Amino acid sequence: MAENLSLTKNPDLDAWISITTDGRVLVRMGKVDIGQKISSAVARLAAEELDIDLSRIVMFRPDTIDGPDEGMTSGSNSMEESGNAVRLAGATAKAHLLALAAVALDVEPSGLEVSDGVVTARSTNQVTSYWELQGDKPFGVPIDINAPVKPAALTTLIGRASPPLDLADIVTGRHVFVHDMNMAGMLHARPVRPPHVHARLASLDTKVLEQLSNRGFTVVRDGSFLAVTGSDEHAVIKAALTLADAASWTSTRELDTTNITEQLTGNERLSMRVVDGVPVDGPIPLMPARPAGLKASLAARYERPYIMHGSIGPSAALARFGSDGLEIWTHSQGIYLLRASLAELFSMPIEQLRLHHRPGSGCYGHNGADDAAVDAALVARAMPGTPILLKWTRADEHAWEPYSPAMVMELSGGITADGTITAWSHETFSDTHVLRPRPGVAGLGPSRLLPAQFLENTPTIVPPPPNLTHHGGIHRNLEPLYRIKEPRLIKHLVRGLPHRTSALRTLGAFANIFALESFIDELAAAAGEDPVDLRLRHLDDPRARACIEAVATRIGPLDQAPEGHGRGLAFGQYKNAKAYVAVAVELAVDDTAKIHLKRVVIAGDAGQVVDPTGVIAQLEGGFIQAASWTLYEAVTYQADGITSRDWQSYPIIGFDNIPDIETVLLDQPDAAFLGAGEAVCGPTGAAIANAVHRSTGVRPRQLPLTPDALRAAALSN
């Protein structure tokens, strides 16, 4: 097994599993469940390896004191890291328990059998149990990284469909989100924001402050950070509006409203070539020479605007600052990294901060959760001993969360007479996709926390360096999986852009695959090639080919869609290392240029599938989110601030445009886990664009594909 960072950091069995005297098995992990149902899959792995009923498993929510530090929940890494760690923990625990049972029953371990935690000696029929042997006691042993795990043929829980662990609570309303928390003496709080990021607080109307104080509200101010608290949440909401009217702001500068695609290709930038998925230093190579006698030769430019997470519920956090330190309940995806950044911001020993993960509205990326936690902590620090529940408004979430960067992709290439793709070039221009708070050089963590930028003593801003990891950030899925000789791949980290950006599901992969898979279709059309055959001819990986063949068979011939419809197909392997996914879409474009999704086929290969219900939910949910990005979403702004502050100005996909979806899992029971959470998104955007072209003859290259954008594309084609 490849090195597992989760086990390297947390090698002791007691960090992961403990057993109670009343027959429960407590399983801990450091990856948070934000709707991807990782906890349901991990619970199955633990129950499978321990040979116990799934109902005995209790999944603990991540906590920076009691749980294993697994860093960030990101990159579709949870099954490979948490899943494999808990699987080995379960196998180690079972071997340890059988050794204890062998001594207790005076038999050899090979003479024992286990049924739901009850251990029986076959030769004597004597029994004991996990809870008798180990109840409420530490194991005191490390995890055996070479512990044999169950082969697929012997499993009883893995690969079987069943509801997620918490589904009943969610659908009946018993599920408790961080927004629902309540503590004795708790106050509610709301932040008051400036018009935009470059504005600073100039003055407050003292009469209004006095009136708010007389009505029982407390105003917290530190530099340009401003918030109001009170015991009644509705009253606090109204008080925040009053406080906002009482504030005067000055602007150091305005937002740059120059066309963002011009800024992306015209601003100062740091450029690097990408080789085998990794950026390397050196001169940028010239465009590849195009050989004579090409069957087709093309160049195309694709564009994507800023988009946001669009979490249905705005961010929230609960904080309490006491004599023993700071405690926070948050829906952050990186509670350990956030803790380190807060320790630096508040100049506190890290041991005095405890962060608990609590569910919030899922986002799959870096939305406002971390910043809301800092807001709550700042208010709690000003009011020691008082629990503070702080919630953002919809306008806060839309206007202040870190966005996914706008991007430009420029591609060129050709097809030789024998049908080989050649002279491939792909350049991507983007701001950083990785601006999460994290420890490092002084100020790196705090400077990435929005509220810290408005404090009296602001941390030093540390410009983001280029991401040099394999298929990271801007260059994620820049490298084609297709067999193309010496592709020219360039990433451009562009400076001086108008908005704070960070991680959103897939990072740069969505836009890169949208461009790459659209361009493959364009090349096929220009050369008179079948786009499915062209892809298959350039793929050596049989698992990749199987995904494409599965959706192509089920959707039907691309050129034989029903009257008025169009079909499109696209493929990707996330980070060229995670799950393989192909998507085929059938759609119609009406007389107003509005796109109606009709039918979708998804084929995914995520290696061994532990929880098919969860994987299907990830693939179908990922399709819907990516379809929303493709058809509707774009952040809008003026010089004096963000204008897309609600669902009218920032529309997302609705139930009226959800197609019939058929999902095919190409399970590989004896293969390794491959992360599936982000794999479907890139192929979704390209499949929709390719279907639009087949339906209308218009080649769309600028997202989102709104009616206005399609009409503009029709005029420019």
Decide: 592 and 653 in contact? Cβ < 8 Å: no
Read off the pLDDT band of 522 (50, 70, 90). very high
* Selection from 468, 489, 683 nearest residue 574 by Cα: 683
pLDDT at 157: 92
Query: So what's the pLDDT on residue 455?
Result: 96
Total count of residues recorded for the chain: 717
Both tokens of 395, joined, read 């306008």
User: In the numeric block, which tokens belong to residue 96?
Assistant: 């340890």
pLDDT over 70 (residue 521): yes
* CB neighbourhood size of 463 (10 A): 9
Rounded to whole angstroms, how far apart are CA atoms 516 and 277?
15
Binning pLDDT at 50, 70 and 90, where does residue 460 land?
A: confident
142: which 2 tokens?
Answer: 């490390």
pLDDT for 629: 98
Catalogue the long-range contacts made by 631-636 (C-beta closer than 8 Å, 24 or more residues apart): 631/595, 631/657, 631/688, 631/704, 631/705, 631/706, 632/704, 632/706, 633/305, 633/307, 633/308, 633/310, 633/704, 634/305, 634/306, 634/307, 634/703, 634/704, 635/305, 635/306, 635/307, 635/308, 635/403, 635/499
| Band of residue 1 on the pLDDT scale cut at 50, 70, 90 | low
pLDDT value of residue 444 = 84
- Residue 664: in which H helix or E strand, if any? strand 660-665
What are 230-260's pLDDT values in tens digits?
Answer: 999 999 999 999 999 999 999 989 999 999 9
SS3 content of the chain, % helix, strand, coil (to 5): 35, 25, 45
Confidence of residue 71 (pLDDT cuts 50, 70, 90): confident
Distance CA 37, CA 33 (A): 6
Question: Mean pLDDT throughout 619-623?
Answer: 97
What's this model's pTM, rounded to 2 decimal places?
Answer: 0.96
Residue 362 has pLDDT above 80, yes or no: no
Using the predicted structure, report yes or no on whether residue 79 has a pLDDT greater than 80.
Answer: yes
Average pLDDT, rounded, for the chain: 95
- Note the pLDDT tens digit of each residue in 484-502: 999 999 999 999 999 999 9
- Of 75-79, 504-508, 638-642, which range is least confident? 75-79
pLDDT digits (tens, 9 = 90+) for 681-703: 999 999 999 999 999 999 999 99
pLDDT in tens, 342-358: 999 999 999 999 999 99
The reply to whether 179-252+312-400 and 267-306+405-432+467-716 are identical in fold is yes
Q: How far is CA 325 from the centre of its chain?
A: 30
Q: Which helix (H) or strand (E) holds 631?
A: helix 612-631
For the domain covering 267-306+405-432+467-716, report its CATH number: 3.30.365.10
Q: What is the pLDDT of residue 272?
A: 98
Position 2 scores a pLDDT of 64
179-252+312-400: which CATH architecture? 2-Layer Sandwich (3.30)
User: Tell me, what's the pLDDT at 163?
Assistant: 81
Specify the pLDDT at position 440. Answer: 78
The DSSP result for 12-27, as a single string, is: BGGGTEEE-TTS-EEE
**Domain locations along the chain:** 5-158, 179-252+312-400, 267-306+405-432+467-716
Note the CATH number of domain 5-158.
3.30.365.10
Residue 170: per-residue pLDDT: 83
